[in-house]
Amino acid sequence: MRKRTLATVLAAAALLATTITPAQATVAKPGQGMTHLKTVSGLASTLEGVGVVLYSQGGATSAVMGDSLAAANGQVVIHVPITGAKAGVAHVGSTLVFFNTTNNKLVQLQNPVINLANGVVTATIPQGTGAPVTVLTITNATSVKSKVTTDRKTKIKTTAYTGAQLAIAPGVGPVLSSLLGLPAGTIPDGTAFATADLTLTALARKA
């Protein structure tokens, strides 16, 4: 039963990933942006070992790097469209999902917001309080700097942040373990989760 469920989840994730065409991935327009998440090596296999898989819903798409989720080199890559950057980098309509294939329990991190200034990522967990909470910390937030380039032909300014390191926020590990029906301590606080690269575009201001 678990194998059938896992196969269904991965097939759905693969189908979503194939909907990104090269044009969608490379052509930037003002106001568009994307966050690229890549789980740290070993996380996917550790989660899979207790029956949990990570994937995305909504606007985000996900795929698997490496031999498989169970492989030591397996990584989940998630592309999350940026929907705004006024009060943190918002991803409205996208959800990261932890799904326990052994009991069909899941935890959704809805509408994540990355706040580089405060070094946190907030999201709404409908299976919890239903209010936005800090779910991840950016452990190297002070060293993540922006790189700005401007295309003279299109007049589009691109701001990129690379290498943000994300970890499970304090108090969140026990919540995830509990909601997923896992033994206490299965997902510890501070667990290295992923790296994130952010790209935002805007029209360049006239001098």
User: Is there a domain that residue 13 lies in?
Assistant: yes
- The amino acid at residue 11 is A
- For residue 176, CA distances in Å to 5, 125, 136, 188 come to 20, 10, 12, 9
User: Is there a domain that residue 22 lies in?
Assistant: no
User: Is there a domain that residue 23 lies in?
Assistant: no
> What pLDDT does 185 receive?
94
User: Is there a domain that residue 116 lies in?
Assistant: yes
User: Is there a domain that residue 176 lies in?
Assistant: yes
DSSP state, residue 84: B
User: Is there a domain that residue 98 lies in?
Assistant: yes
DSSP state, residue 133: E
> What pLDDT does 5 receive?
44
> What pLDDT does 144 receive?
95
User: Is there a domain that residue 198 lies in?
Assistant: yes
> What pLDDT does 206 receive?
65
> What pLDDT does 21 receive?
34
pLDDT < 70 regions, the chain? 1-31, 206-207
Name all contacts of 142-147 with Cβ < 8 Å and 24+ positions apart. 144/116
pTM for this model (two decimals): 0.83
- Other beta carbons less than 10 A from residue 33's beta carbon: 23
> What pLDDT does 152 receive?
87
User: Is there a domain that residue 27 lies in?
Assistant: no
Structural domain total, the chain:
1
Q: Which domain holds residue 180?
A: 2-17+32-203
CA–CA distance, 124 with 114 (Å, rounded to integer): 13
